[in-house]
Amino acid sequence: MLSFLHQLTFWDWLALGTVLLIFEVFGAGGYLLWVGIAAAGVGLITFLLPQTPWALQFILFAVLSILSAVLWWKRQRTAAKPSDQPGLNMRGSELLGKEFELFEPISSGRGKIKAGGSMWLVSGPDMPSGSKVRVIGQDGVILRVEAAQA
């Protein structure tokens, strides 16, 4: 084993980097990307400086792995910004507190309103068609409503 370590070449590091990147493609979730890139970086260093001792190669590998992962983590944290559309994929939440006319009467606790070109199922107290209702909540795709104050 020790003789192998003394004979490490840039090909060994490039092979390790390639294997790690292949594992990353199969779903490591980003963990092996930076380690694979670090291995390729050590391969480049050993190509340029072939007399680099194996212990220094492993130290460089460890330092580059940690450094690349930490730098990426910091970049991701600073690049994260709040969405300009916080209600995206939360259909119906934009209707909370708004008033609408019942399109179909609420009978047995169910009815329909027309909001933004879409028909919505509503639940609430029985009311005739045309009554004003206010959206007070949401249960999945069904909006909870109450009679609007006149």
The verdict on residue 55 lying in a domain is yes
* Prediction pTM value: 0.52
Residues 116 and 49 in one domain: no
Query: What's 106's domain CATH number?
Result: 2.40.50.140
Q: What is the pLDDT along the chain (150 residues), one digit of tens a residue?
A: 777 777 888 899 999 999 999 999 988 777 888 899 999 999 999 999 999 899 999 999 999 999 998 988 888 888 777 777 766 667 777 888 999 999 999 999 999 999 878 899 999 999 999 999 999 998 888 999 999 986
Residues 9 and 60 in one domain: yes
Q: Can you give the residue range of the structural domain that contains 36? A: 2-79
| Distance set, CA 136 to CA 22, 94, 112 (Å) | 51, 11, 15
Q: Compute the distance between CA of residue 98 and CA of residue 115 in angstroms, rounded to an integer.
A: 10
Tell me how many domains the chain contains: 2
Residues 17 and 61 in one domain: yes
Residue 57 has phi, psi (to 5 degrees) of: -60, -45
Q: Are strands 118-123 and 99-107 parallel, antiparallel or unpaired?
A: unpaired
Q: Compute the distance between CA of residue 20 and CA of residue 52 in angstroms, rounded to an integer.
A: 22
